[in-house]
A = this chain, B = another copy of it.
Amino acid sequence: MGPRWKGKGSEAKALADPMSKIVSELCSSLIQMASHGLLSGCSVLLAVEAEQTELLTRACFGRPIIVADKDQQWFQLGLEEAVYLCHSLKCLNIVGEDNCQKDVIELWQCMKSKKATFPDFYKAYSHLRMKNWVGRPGSQYGVGFVAYRHHPSLVHSEYAVLILSEEDGDANGRLRVWSDFHCTVRLCGSVAKTLLVLSVNKNGHGAISPSCLERYLVEEHTVTRWSPEQSRENQTITENGAK
């Protein structure tokens, strides 16, 4: 299944404006503004100006929050998004609920305490982003993320990304029985996505600090339905063997 572009010209638009370039512009802009994200529950709030609003929207990070103050725009970032901007792109500092800036170890511990699966989800999210895929939350499909080739306004998401942890065994407990496979693959088919399973192998490095992340391996598997009709060696051979 190839990308499903939204209308004519979308593919050309995406090609002319690569995601890597948008993200690098966002990065520069956030550094220049010395942006601080404010940890709040399971998200990070970020006050931005018009330029960053446009770049966050184009790069598809977080979502804008409607507030009464018309001069200030706030963005709500997911944990993985915020840590990606902070730890991988080094363009955002994150301030805790105590108003103190978190160093990298504190941030890591904090994220793990908010979400036990954070190390695996973060590895998967950054794995996608580094390949210039846009990851958005996938909980409506029972997966970790959905992955877009470019901005969701130009293209439908192509992959439903399920994140499995190789070490934790039962921790995320998915795809352990065939019926779960059937259910997931059927749902993906009905919403025109391909199931992408990202298995995070920690290689025995645990998740004590974010420096472990570099040692993690991510194995990628797509899972699709096998259709006997579409899988014959030679598609021109009919059932009785005649060409």
Residues of A near any B CB (own CB < 8 A) = 139-144, 162, 170, 172-174, 176-184, 186-187, 190-191
CB distance from A188 to the nearest CB of B (A): 9
* Inter-chain contact A182/B140, CB cutoff 8 Å: yes
Contact of A173 among B139, B162, B177, B184 (CB under 8 A): B177
Contact of A142 among B172, B176, B183, B191 (CB under 8 A): B183
CB distance from A27 to the nearest CB of B (A): 31
Contact of A190 among B144, B182, B190 (CB under 8 A): B190
CB distance from A228 to the nearest CB of B (A): 15
Closest to A184 in B: B183
Closest to A191 in B: B190
* Inter-chain contact B179/A172, CB cutoff 8 Å: yes
CA distance A191 to B189 in the complex (A): 12
Please indicate the chain B residues that have their CB under 8 angstroms from the CB of A173 in the complex: 173, 176-177, 180
CA distance A52 to B209 in the complex (A): 69
With contact pairs A170-B170, A173-B173 given, residues A143 and B187 touching in the complex (Cβ less than 8 Å): no
Closest to A143 in B: B179
Please indicate the chain B residues that have their CB under 8 angstroms from the CB of A184 in the complex: 142, 183
Please indicate the chain B residues that have their CB under 8 angstroms from the CB of A162 in the complex: 179
CA distance A143 to B139 in the complex (A): 20
Please indicate the chain B residues that have their CB under 8 angstroms from the CB of A186 in the complex: 140-142, 187
Contact of A187 among B170, B181, B187 (CB under 8 A): B187
* Inter-chain contact B183/A143, CB cutoff 8 Å: yes
CB distance from A115 to the nearest CB of B (A): 12
